[in-house]
Structure 1
Amino acid sequence: LSNRLSRSKASRHFRDALLIFLLALAVLHIAYYFRVVLPRPSLRFLGGGDPYEYDGLARSLLAGKGFSDIMFGLRPPGFPLFIALVYVLAGVRPHIVVFYHLIFGALTVVVVYKLSLRLFRQRSVAILTALLMTFEVAHVDSIISMMSEPLHNLLLFIALYWLVVCLQSGRWRAALAAGVAMGMALLTRPISAYFALLLGLLALIYRPRLWKQVLAFIAICLVCWAAWSYRNLYYAGNFSLSTTGSYTMLFYKMVSAESHATGRPPEEVATDIALEVERRVGNYEITREEIAEYPVGRPENLHANDPERQAIFRQMVFEKVRAYPLWTAIMTAVSLVRQFEADEEFLLPVWLQLALTAIYLMLALIGYWRAWVRRETLFLLLSHASIVYYAGTTALVLAGLSHIRLRTPYMPFILMYGALGIVYLAGRRDHRVGRGASPASG
């Protein structure tokens, strides 16, 4: 009888997962049709300037140049390798890459459903999470782009799923699968490099007795990190997952803070900061006019491994933060808030996007309270780690700029909170209806 019930439950979960996949795929296909098939947009429309870089790296791989292209220092190999594979299978047609993203997007919803089921062991919460994610604006918007988020997010949530399985069961295969998926995720988007270490630390705190499995997970992630860092050491002289050079996104944050504080034009501030860097490293030959043309556009700024220049740049960052703490804090807050703004180019009206996001967040607040009441310890650990890490990292680095796709690595956890909120409200309603019914009507 027990085996029969187990098979029945597994069959039901498989049926749910299949229906969720088909629904998510249908929604994404509709968005793909109206955003890609009908207008046939340029690569820039499908993600700004980044798709051109990914496309160029994929073509470089197909040309037999390996990982020698200088832009591989900025872009890890995961997504360019996927694009190159698509080009081999379907021809060099960038828009087909987005078509394959539809499958990634639908699979991500299924994985999030499975993760929610694992965390709460409550079918209603898992299904509601999947439904909310299917229609979540940022998720759909990120899929209809030639960016690395769809592949990265799929790998990330596969890693999280198997890590949860490992922590709940102690299975070695789950730990190894989580490590491989997480390693592939950080080779797709370098922002996840430190998140892998954070997950390992939290896993050790949550299940100290599984320290061997957790260390295996961390070791696999470190191997992936070290392998690509060695590539960057070989080609760029910089043992780092992403060789952004001296001028990181913090440069733009400095420019934004000083520009708002002083009222000077950003272009003028950027030129002054870049010129000051050159003067501090002893370069008095370059003129202000040469720098003003494009302060950070020169290859020596983006790719150079110059420890002195990097040290001076970091020193200037701290100087600007101390000089303009209020505007630095404001720009950080703006970057965080803008992760929840609307996309004017999306299919839905701006007001409807904002309304849906507001509803999700209000439901999530109720669910957050319920998660503490229910003592969902593992879920609380993972959700706090994901939300604080991904939201905080992008907000701290960006200078008031942002995009809704930047919330996609942590938004599923907010949706899980939202699903908990819906289940709680529905339960309260049923309870009130039950209390209000007369004995005769019952």
Structure 2
Amino acid sequence: MLREINFDGIVGPSHNYAGLSLGNLAATRHAGDTAFPREAALQGIAKMRHNLRLGLAQGFFLPLPRPNRAFLHDMCADGEFDPALTAMAWSASSMWTANAATVSPAPDTADGRCHLTVANLVTMPHRSIEWPDTLRQLRIAFADQTHFAVHGPVPPTFGDEGAANHMRMGASHAEAGVEIFIYGRPGGKFPARQHEQAFRAIARRHGLNPGRCIFAEQAPEAIAAGAFHNDVVAVANEDVLFCHEQAFADKDALYAAIREKLPTAKIVEVPASAVSLADAISSYLFNAQLVTLPEEVQALIVPTEAWDNAPVRAFLDAMVAGNGPIRKVLPVDVRQSMANGGGPACLRLRVVADPATVDPRFMLDEARADLLEGVIARHWPERISSAEIGNEALADRIRNAHGHLCEAVGLKDYG
């Protein structure tokens, strides 16, 4: 049976605040702070447990091997210390699996398989080195070629940031949907990371019906305000779009296109008069998981920062008190990820599939959550300061921790 499965990235043992992501205001604001990898990873597991206990299907991806010595070797920097390159090689940003790939479920594709295209992430150097290891992992998790097709990246000429800029709407997850591709245009204050042509290539590659695809531009003012991905200002689930008034360059045209292709669509727009763009971005109100609970009620899983923001909380309380399609708001604590610029939605990749067709080593249950927590508690560093990035003893500990995790879940060869 087709279900939406959220695959969360486990926060890696090299989690640190190097401030590498231009345009991500939280990441640059916390650059140089001391990070707490163990706490961050345990917060991530707690979020997964929370969703699992809601009755949602939950999977996970492993951190990528770090430090990335191959990258340092390719940059001729493995024999000397270069702070910038070393920070890139240590980056744990693969934890944000919304950037791992763009996913088109089987009901949308010409061959009736779920298609995944790994994101090239070329705009940010520290992320551009992720895709080969991410692709290896995707091809293990979704190895059943009767149900999945896993593709390499689109050419790096065109920047692709994956599902963080992609939304899907439909009557249900298991029915044919409308795929919405949000891109940016260059020339603004911060880089526009998603290229229109990358998404058009992915739509063709996945065999999507052009009549059920929408390509729309993200508002330049949203990118300039710090919405480096569309999922910082909009999220969709089944027939509901939840977005900020200033999310899109031409919202009226987008809304009309959605309603034409999905007449039952419900658009919940948050006006700037209620929640400013600055509050929306700082609280990550829209970087939430909008999910359908087993009782067929839609719920918004928000970071505690959104719950603690007065204008945002006032809007959420009024929304739930009304008669709209989003009936519950559930806060979760992912503060370590938030300080680096990633909320609940950043931490997960949505894949509509039959869980029985996924490699079971990537599926979460309570026992496996216990296992992951035990490995993290024993082996993840408690803290990493900016001065420690590049320390060889710490690098050995990080590699050792990663190896223990891979072995524990039966993926020793991946490490």
Whether TM exceeds 0.5 here: the answer is: no
TM-score class, shorter: under 0.3
Q: Tell me which of the two structures has the higher relative contact order, counting C-alpha pairs closer than 8 angstroms and 6 or more residues apart.
A: 2
Larger fraction in helix? 1
Q: TM-score, normalised by structure 2?
A: 0.26
Larger fraction in strand? 2
Q: TM-score, normalised by structure 1?
A: 0.25
